[in-house]
Chain A
Amino acid sequence: MKTRRDFIKISTAGAGATALGFSALGAKGFSFFESDKQGPVSDEDLTPYPTYCEVCFWKCAGWTYVDKKGEIRKIIGNNDDPHCNGRLCPRGTGGVGMYYDEDRLKTPLIRETKADGTQYYRKASWDEALDLVAEKMDKLRKEHGPECLALFSHGSGGKMLTHLVKAFGTPNITAPSFAQCRGPREVAFTATFGEDVMSPERTDIRDTKCLVLIGSHIGENMHNGQIQEMSHAIENKATIITVDPRFSTAASHSKYWLPIKPATDIALLLAWIHVIINEELYDKDYIEKYAFGFDELKEHVKNNTPEWAYGITTIEPHIIRATAREMAAAAPSTLVHPGRHVTWYGDDTQRSRAIAILNALLGSWGRRGGFYNPEKVHLPTFPHPPYPKPTRSWKDAYPDNKYNLVTEVLSTGICDATIPNADLNCHLRGWIVYGTNLMASLPDQRKTLEAINNLDFLVVIDTMPMDITGYADVVLPECTYLERYDFVRTSPHREPALALRMPAVQPKYDSKPNWWIAKNLASRLGLEAYFKWDKIEDVIDWQLKQVGSSLEEMQRIGVKKFKREYDDLFWLEGLPDFEFNTNTGKIELYSTELANEEFDPIPKYTHHPEPEQGYYRLNYGRAPMHTFSRTSNNHNLWDLMDENSVWINPKVADLWEIKNNQYIWLKNQDGVVSSFPVKARVTERIRWDSVYMVHGFGHTNKKLTRAYGKGGSDSELVTRVVMDPIMGGTGMRGNFVTFILENPAKENKEDKA
């Protein structure tokens, strides 16, 4: 049965935000006593509990400080942690706001339909909710096979659910961090060097002498280790070259800012490659020893002169030459940063390839100041029976394109596989969404909604009443990362290190940790064999003991560093013999892998559509104090930035007679109008052909008392998606918007519901 899911503003009883009224006398009542949470508390009176941060995916380790009354006071970085070196970023510091948010999901909720057809959420007990989810999963398994289930899971808490659905028998496990984020870069670097960049990035920004940022707006992109290392680089007087059509924070801290015309980076990269080859500035020994396809590359770029690139990029030839020479002068300690969110224009794998090739020419891969060789601690998995072997997958939705180079599941591929079509013998019918707000993170909301409308059931596990939760049939409230154990963090870094997350306080409200949810679902689905433990502490302790630590030790120290197994941090230093994990065993300047799949083996510049008269390219990015859509309701961070604005160049603003701070509406090329008015920021920091917005605002769920209706959502305006043919990445920067100055007075049905 297919029900149309009305979006429900999760309604649970409970007082809304009460305004803080000042009492007539200023002091709290007539009391001469200080209020409970007054003033600072000295660290000796606080108890620290180890954790690692979940406000973004950098996962910095820290300490949650709890006072004598059991209130969380602050979160401070762990000095031993290589991800943060004792300093969390603003979002991590403000993580307390996630715990205290009064809008949190408080109980399980089940969608019900009244006699008159209107839908609402009913508060339910965990037993009831889990029974219902298990019943639906079981039905799906019996009627269509377990492969018809998909799990969207983003964040460290998703591992338990991943384990559950693998045991259940589906391969359809995805996150918006591949096809909407790192995918093109990983595929491109793997094609070039046989290895990917990973997270945290293996970039040696700390020691670099020349840092080249292509769009990466470090400083606004607040990935902690990178910003810290960039600061070291500035201290060390490294040359920073920033290529960005917008005057980013990084651009303002750079020696060279190249205000490139959007969507033309490949031309610039080819011109740089041209200069470096023609002026023989490349690392000859390195290239000779390790590279494959240099002659083809040389031939390929022979016409890509700076003068040629000037016409495309608007970057003057002498600047292109000067920057190329700066890079070469600092090589191999020159880092052309691979970026992270690289799904821009659909030819992103090729752009990332050009970046990889440039790094190869400079010899920075495997060298100090370039890319290092990360190492991580391998924690054995807790013994469990083998997972069943799925017979179908999301790829069946693309009979023409095998996506042979895709290394992770495409989130948008899951949507495609959910929408029935003639080629699909069985479409996906059930989704579990853990820790990802699909309405904000996937492009083309109409398609996401179409997929959702074709589902038999949608379960959302979240901490907050986000946009996606309004479409769920069952909402399961998870407790925040400060209230739970998760698997020990083990991630690649210069030095391998483990980090523990443990609860600092009991879960608030009726929320539960993911492992508890997974385990209790497993027992209802007959999958107990995969969860042969009582609580997650048992698993963690067992795992830690396998590598010579223990839960008890980690509770004390939070982070444990290990010695590297090999002394090969900069493994190509001194040009040792090395076989790369590519078809040729070499660094592939000419990619045989891409050639085999009939893609351009060496990147080419292609022209992308430009906005028509009166339209402006929709550019978006990060604000340092927010993470995507997840923090906009966090009171601590909301205090810093409560809405986003749309950046407009003063010349454009003049033309439209738009004043600074005026609220306007945006309409994109497909006629989609922003749901809410957005404040104009008239600023020179943006070009006249684009506008800029911070991603993650314009929430539509009224239960977010602070974030609802504040600012604009870039996501809803990204309706044109240019698919990367190589790996299915969703190019999202090809959308154009125009301004509407008067309230378009959209009839808003949702508001009446």
Chain B
Amino acid sequence: MRYAMAIDTLKCVGCGDCVVACQTENNVPHGYCRDWIVENVNGTYPSLDLEFRSERCNHCDNAPCVRCCPTGASHIEKGGIVVVTHDECIGCGACIQSCPYDARYQHPDGYVDKCTFCMHRVEKGQNPACVDVCPTECLHFGDLDDPNSKVSLALKNRTHKVLAPEAGTKPQLYFLT
């Protein structure tokens, strides 16, 4: 099993719903976020390009944050989900330094936190909160090992990219282009 997310940049409107939904679902404190939107504008008026990307932890296959964690707080769960066990985290910040995507933050309570792919929902067969809320349905989540999962189908039918592949982390967030 290998969970992944495919994000359709042709449909995303950068509304931030995925961010608010994550905030309320996971009780992310105000001023912090587990996911965020990047707006990329290229060109000169009127020949312009715009891309919105809903970004979050890439649940990397080759996760440097897990490797560098001295306590094992950062670890890989079933399906490749990278999670932090709060009670094992000492807040050394190594994992934050190691993440090329700046996907982690220090929770005001001290431990390091980040997107969990909503493991508490996924375990029960639900979608992550951000996926379920997205009004444009541009987030696809599922198991890459299952050829009929939403994410596999999305990747099969569309061109896609990952972010900073040269960082060597083997990210599992795919952006459909």
Contacts and interface: CB of A to CB of B under 8 A. Distances in A.
B148 to A, nearest CB: 18
Interface string B9-44: 011011111011101111101110100000001011
A726 B158 CA distance: 50
B70 interface: no
A37 B43 CA distance: 45
B136 A231 contact: yes
B30 A93 contact: no
Given A227-B13, A639-B30, A684 B43 contact: yes
Nearest to B13: A219
A531 to B, nearest CB: 37
Contacts of B50: 247, 249, 252, 685
A624 B16 contact: yes
B68 interface: no
Contacts of A43: 121, 126
B147 interface: no
A648 to B, nearest CB: 12
Secondary structure of the A side of the interface? Answer: loop
A42 B30 CA distance: 21
A685 B41 contact: yes
B15 A624 contact: yes
A94 B20 contact: yes
A89 B13 CA distance: 11
A625 B15 contact: yes
Interface string A241-265: 0000001010011000101000000
Interface string A26-41: 1110000011011110
B16 A625 contact: yes
A247 B118 contact: no
B124 interface: yes
A231 B137 contact: yes
A635 B11 CA distance: 27
A172 B11 CA distance: 43
A26 B110 contact: yes
A235 B12 CA distance: 12
Interface string B72-115: 00000000000000100001000000000000000011100000
A75 interface: yes
Nearest to A247: B48
Contacts of B163: none
Contacts of B19: 90, 639-640
Interface in A597-648: 624-625, 635-637, 639-641
B24 A75 contact: yes
A38 B120 CA distance: 14
Interface string A57-99: 0000000000000000111110000000011111001101000
A627 B44 CA distance: 30
Interface in B107-166: 108-110, 118, 120-121, 124, 126, 132-138
Contacts, number: 144
B45 to A, nearest CB: 5
Nearest to A219: B13
A37 B133 contact: no
B134 A87 contact: yes
A34 to B, nearest CB: 8
Interface string B42-59: 011110111010000000
Nearest to A246: B45
Interface residues of A, number: 58
A349 interface: no
Contacts of B43: 684
A710 interface: no
A120 to B, nearest CB: 31
Nearest to B116: A40
A566 interface: no
Contacts of A625: 15-16, 20
Contacts of B27: 37-40, 73
Nearest to B29: A20
Contacts of A234: 10-11
Given A35-B109, A685-B50, A93 B13 contact: no
Contact of A684 (B24, B25, B30, B45): B45
A26 B106 CA distance: 10
Contacts of A94: 20, 23-24
Contacts of B30: 635-636, 639
Contacts of A429: none
B109 A42 contact: no
A649 interface: yes
Contacts of A686: 45
Contacts of A257: 46
A90 B24 contact: no
Q: 4 tightest A-B contacts by CB?
A: A26-B110, A624-B15, A252-B50, A219-B13
27 contacts: A20-B108, A26-B109, A27-B110, A40-B121, A76-B133, A87-B17, A87-B134, A89-B17, A89-B135, A90-B19, A220-B13, A227-B15, A228-B135, A228-B136, A230-B136, A231-B136, A231-B137, A247-B48, A247-B50, A249-B14, A252-B49, A624-B16, A624-B17, A625-B15, A639-B31, A641-B16, A683-B41
Interface of B: 10-11, 13-17, 19-21, 23-27, 29-31, 33, 41, 43-46, 48-50, 52, 86, 91, 108-110, 118, 120-121, 124, 126, 132-138
Given A26-B110, A38-B27, A94-B23, 4 more contacts: A25-B110, A94-B20, A227-B15, A252-B48
